Amino acid sequence: MSEVQKFKVTIDNITIEVAPGTTILEAARKIGGEVAPPAMCFYSKLKGSGGKCRTCLVEVSKGSEKDPRPMPKLVASCRTTVMDGMEVKNITSEKVPDARAGVVEFLLLNHPLDCPICDQAGECHLQDLSYEHGREGTRYEFQKRVFKKHDLGPYIQLHMTRCILCYRCVFTADQLTNKRVHGILDRGDHAEIATHIEKALDNDFIGNVIDVCPVGALTDKTFRFKNRVWFTKPVDAHRDCPTCSGEVQLWMRGDEVFRVTARKDEWGEVKENSKGETGWICNECRFEKKHIHDWTIEGPSVINRHSVISQGHYVGITKPKETVQEVIGKEPRLLMDIHSVSQVNKPNIDLSLINGPAHSDDFNHPNTNGKQD
Ligand code: SF4
Ligand code: FES
């Protein structure tokens, strides 16, 4: 049997070979690190997702080997498949940062700036994106949208003002449950997540909408306002569950289990479980098993995302892949490597090897002569 022909694609000067039909975003994720564009609506585990938010815009500077003309406009990388010989610019593009800043500005037009009280703060993709691409202020002069409150039942809290209409939760309900009872009602400025006539979301697997929501629009009522995510320690654990694989992440403080979620990968998506299936978890594991004795603890979770959730978890941390150096051919002045770049910590102290949170003695501080110790 002849081997399937592969397409060569170059993204930010790095060339890889991928199967025909692969999207630019999937190809960029294969390279990894900063080369992979951010994605707020695409979710590789959900069929049909993507194409809604435009945060994944990239520049195609060469269409293909056969037709080398550049694409006239930036394209959504989650919906554009690669061609043989295609050349794509993401972090090397001059146009992309500006376009992405525009997209972020649009996403924030109606989004409340309530990160200090939002349960998603610290693991919110929109928060990360606005730090990376957002403007300092808003040019929007009008009142932000408000909505009539909908009660989605005992487990899931909806904050419609934070929703970016990515449709991920709708695809999740469609693809994981036998009867979807929520969806997006109305269109344009009036579009909103609702159940039409007040219904509770109570399917056994519906809690997964919390994990896929990229912002704080759908949060866990059993965790709400109980703690901040950066004060909790993520720990991998499992139990013998008759409904799902029972492989979860516990968010603990001391011996107390504050929250149970599915395990996530470096893109913030639910990971595969040990059986090779997507590790969606059931409502019972997520909402009702909040006692340490319900679980067999496997050990600290590996955190491999650039995010506040990686702070304070020095042991077990895997640094996310960084590709900037490979792309620009020299070491950038500022990476998130506090040890070798910032010189904030004492040179003989490697923060990643400290067991537990760092102490003030681990950092440089001016002595009485005004010099660094
Ligand atoms: S509630 Fe969350 S997952 Fe659902 S459409 Fe809004 S932002 Fe997306
Ligand atoms: S991730 Fe591509 S359009 Fe949203």
Tell the residue nearest (CA) to atom 1 of ligand 2. 39
Average pLDDT estimate for 103-124:
91
**86 - beta bridge partners?**
9
DSSP track, 266-310: TTSSBPB-TTSSB----HIIIII--SGGGSEEEEEPPB-SSSGGG
Ligand 2 centre and the CA of 169: distance in Å? 15
Please report the pLDDT score of residue 67 as a whole number. 95
Tell the residue nearest (CA) to atom 7 of ligand 1. 163
Q: What is the pLDDT of residues 31-85, one digit of tens each?
A: 998 899 999 999 999 999 999 999 999 999 999 999 999 999 999 999 999 999 9
DSSP track, 179-211: S---EEES-GGG-EEE-SS------TTTTHHHH
Atom of ligand 2 nearest to the CA of 56: 2
Tell the residue nearest (CA) to atom 8 of ligand 1. 166
> What are the start and end residues of each CATH 3.10.20.740 domain in the chain?
7-102
Contacts of 29 (CB under 8 A, 6+ apart): 36, 267
- What does the alpha-carbon distance between residue 161 and residue 221 come to, in Å, rounded to a whole number? 17
Decide if pLDDT at 176 tops 80. Answer: yes
Ligand 2 centre and the CA of 166: distance in Å? 9
- What does the alpha-carbon distance between residue 217 and residue 205 come to, in Å, rounded to a whole number? 18
Please report the pLDDT score of residue 370 as a whole number. 40
Ligand 2 centre and the CA of 281: distance in Å? 25
Please report the pLDDT score of residue 324 as a whole number. 72
Please report the pLDDT score of residue 302 as a whole number. 79
Q: What is the pLDDT of residues 116-173, one digit of tens each?
A: 899 999 889 999 899 888 887 788 889 998 998 888 989 999 999 999 999 999 999 9
pLDDT category at 327 given cuts 50, 70, 90 is: confident
Provide the b/e sequence for 312-327 (b: ≥16 CB within 10 Å): ebbeebeebebbbeeb
- CATH code given to domain 7-102: 3.10.20.740
Average pLDDT estimate for 266-271:
92
Ligand 2 centre and the CA of 77: distance in Å? 7
Atom of ligand 1 nearest to the CA of 212: 3
Distance of CA 91 to the CA centre of its chain: 18
- What does the alpha-carbon distance between residue 260 and residue 272 come to, in Å, rounded to a whole number? 17
Ligand 2 centre and the CA of 22: distance in Å? 15
Question: Mean pLDDT for the chain?
Answer: 87
User: What pTM was computed for the model?
Assistant: 0.83
pLDDT category at 354 given cuts 50, 70, 90 is: confident
| Residues in contact with ligand 1 (CB, 6 Å cut-off) | 163-169, 193, 212-215, 217-218
| Residues in contact with ligand 2 (CB, 6 Å cut-off) | 39-42, 50-56, 76, 78
Which of 139-143, 192-196, 218-222 has the highest average model confidence (pLDDT)?
Answer: 218-222
* Closest listed ligand to the CA of 41: 2
Please report the pLDDT score of residue 25 as a whole number. 98
Q: What is the pLDDT of residues 282-326, one digit of tens each?
A: 999 999 999 999 999 998 887 766 566 665 554 455 666 777 777
pLDDT category at 281 given cuts 50, 70, 90 is: very high
Determine contact, residues 119/220, Cβ cutoff 8 Å. yes
Ligand 1 centre and the CA of 293: distance in Å? 33
pLDDT category at 363 given cuts 50, 70, 90 is: confident
- What does the alpha-carbon distance between residue 308 and residue 124 come to, in Å, rounded to a whole number? 10
Determine contact, residues 11/30, Cβ cutoff 8 Å. no
Decide if pLDDT at 344 tops 70. Answer: no
Query: For residue 14, what are its two tokens?
Result: 């790095």
Ligand 1 centre and the CA of 159: distance in Å? 10
Please report the pLDDT score of residue 254 as a whole number. 87
115-127+140-220 CATH fold:
Alpha-Beta Plaits (3.30.70)
Please report the pLDDT score of residue 45 as a whole number. 96
> What are the start and end residues of each CATH 3.30.70.20 domain in the chain?
115-127+140-220
Please report the pLDDT score of residue 373 as a whole number. 43
Of 50-54, 166-170, 211-215, 232-236, the poorest mean pLDDT is in 232-236
Mutational pocket test of ligand 2: of 55, 81, 213, the residue with most ligand atoms within 8 Å of the beta carbon:
55
Please report the pLDDT score of residue 369 as a whole number. 43
Decide if pLDDT at 371 tops 50. Answer: no
Decide if pLDDT at 372 tops 50. Answer: no
- What does the alpha-carbon distance between residue 245 and residue 75 come to, in Å, rounded to a whole number? 38
